[in-house]
Chains A and B, each alone.
Chain A
Amino acid sequence: MGKKVLVVDDNANNLLLEKDLLEVAGFTVFEAENAADGLIITRREKPDIVLMDVRLPDMRGTEAARILRRDKETADIPIVFVTSSVMAEGIEEIKDIKKSGFIGKPINTRTFVEEISRFMKP
């Protein structure tokens, strides 16, 4: 079985796009459309990586990430923020979250999987 990845994004189209790209590359993909579901799935599945949108309906992705960091069980799971907030304020918001990365939208579908693989343990 391939590596497990959780994608948290409230936009169904963008969620589907990331899911397609990851499944083609052999990942097992879990999906969540809000932060609360994302937290539950992370605790249950312990994915190898979490791809997190920042503007989510129930809380900011960065807040969800901080909750995961406080929990010993999930503290070390890499989180990559895949976000449309590419301006300075957006980048500022995520910079103090450990083991996190940043990919701006629109994503490059040809390099996406390679980019997120760089954030995962070999």
Chain B
Amino acid sequence: MFWKRTTKKSMEYAESIIDTVREPLIALDQDLRVVSVSRSFYEVFKVYPEETVGKLIYDLGNKQWNIPKLRELLETILPKRTTFEDYEVEHDFATIGRRIMLLNARQIKRVWGKDRIILLAIEDITERREIETGLEKANEELTDLAAELNRVARAKSEFLANMSHELRTPLNSIIGFSEVLCDQTFGELNEKQEKYVNNVLASGKHLLLLINQILDMAKVESGKMNLTLSHLSIKNLLNEISMLVEDMVGKKKLHLALEIDRDLPDIEADELKVKEIIYNLLSNAVKFTPENGKIGIRAKKSDSDIEIVVWDTGVGLAPENMEKIFEGFFRVDTPYSRVTEGTGLGLPLSKKLVELHGGRLSVLSDGLDKGTSVLLTLPIVSAVGM
């Protein structure tokens, strides 16, 4: 009696273990008939106890388990080895569709007899495999996309180089010959001829400026614009540029005010680029200020930056145009500025060049005819290249 009770107890013990396992688990006798299966087996494979226990494994679920690879494992491989791990079987089940399973098998000799039982754990890796395949595919697509982006970037920069070359070749003739004519190297021109050829020259130079600015914009945007940093006396630079616009200022009878702090420190920056920025802003101020108006530069130190304001009493900006002016090719048409005077790229490019230095540029205006101030900061010590 005691013996029977122990057997029953250990049976219950074994079955409770089998039921606890999350993966489907089958125990087979040596004739490959099902002794016991885990609850998860019923759930996963949608079969019922009455059509399972005592049946030949191949006959389960209406002979759905008659799988050649399973037969091979149970009949050919297992008799030679007592355990087998991660044996992959793929099978299309009528009830649950195509599944990929990893089988782990183990033969156990019963203590009280010569029979063996076979434990078969089934790990359903269909979803995992799908995720893996999906990841692999996504990865491949990503690699393709990166290659495509590289190709596009290369094509774009080749296109720009070609465009630059193709436009410069005819411009060399336009600017060169009209310059020679202007200089009257090969004979005198009458007043009208001189005026017209000057127009050709000015338009040619305008076109060249446009090409250069477009290329610079493209360079900044593709991260190919490099700064050549040096220690720069910003005080001297501001004085120098204001002298450069003296002619323009004089022609429009403008008053130019310079307020540069005595203790304005030198900065670390790209001299040519900073000159270009200040020149752009100052010539905008001249362009958009009517005769007898005022323009000016204020510069001071502000923490670890220097702060420069280029201001004017000119046409100002309507609130709705505040953002548009940075979009490129936006120009305010005013009685004071002919449309052909600017490229519409000076301000967006200046902003990008300031930002490349690690500074900021913003535009302030109280509205139409209320003047404009451009505020820019440049770090005293550059963080670029650190």
Q: How far is the CA of A33 from the CA of B198 in the complex (A)?
A: 30
Contact with B along A4-17 (1 / 0, CB 8 A): 00000001011001
Q: Is the CB of A109 within 8 A of B168?
A: no
Q: Say whether, besides A17-B173, A20-B180, A106 and B164 are in contact (CB < 8 Å).
A: no
Interface of B is mostly: helix
Within 8 A of B (CB), among A92-111: 104-110
Q: For the complex, count residues of B whose C-beta is within 8 A of A.
A: 23
**Cβ A17 vs Cβ B176 within 8 A:** yes
A17 adjacent to B172 (CB under 8 Å): yes
Residues of B174-201 at the interface with A, using a CB-CB cut-off of 8 Å, are 174-177, 179-180, 183, 185-186
Q: Does chain B have a CB within 8 A of A39?
A: no
Residue A1 CB within 8 A of the other chain: no
A24–B215 CA distance with the chains assembled, in angstroms: 34
Cβ-defined contact, A14 with B215, below 8 A:
no
Docked pose: A74 CA to B163 CA in angstroms: 34
- Chain A interface residue count, CB cutoff 8 Å, equals 22
B227 vs chain A, min Cβ distance (A): 14
Query: Chain A contacts of B161 at CB under 8 A?
Result: 85, 87, 89-90
Interface digits, A58-102 against B, CB 8 Å rule (1 contact, 0 not)?
A: 000000000000000000000000001111111000000000000
A85 contacts B165, C-beta separation under 8 Å? yes
B168 touching A106, Cβ below 8 Å:
yes
Interface centre among B164, B165, B172 (most CB of A within 10 A): B172
B222 to chain A minimum Cβ distance, whole angstroms, is 12
A-B contact pairs, 26 of them (CB 8 A): A11-B173, A14-B176, A17-B172, A17-B173, A17-B176, A17-B177, A17-B180, A20-B180, A24-B185, A84-B164, A84-B169, A84-B172, A85-B161, A86-B164, A87-B215, A105-B169, A106-B171, A106-B172, A106-B175, A106-B204, A107-B172, A107-B176, A108-B179, A109-B175, A110-B179, A110-B183
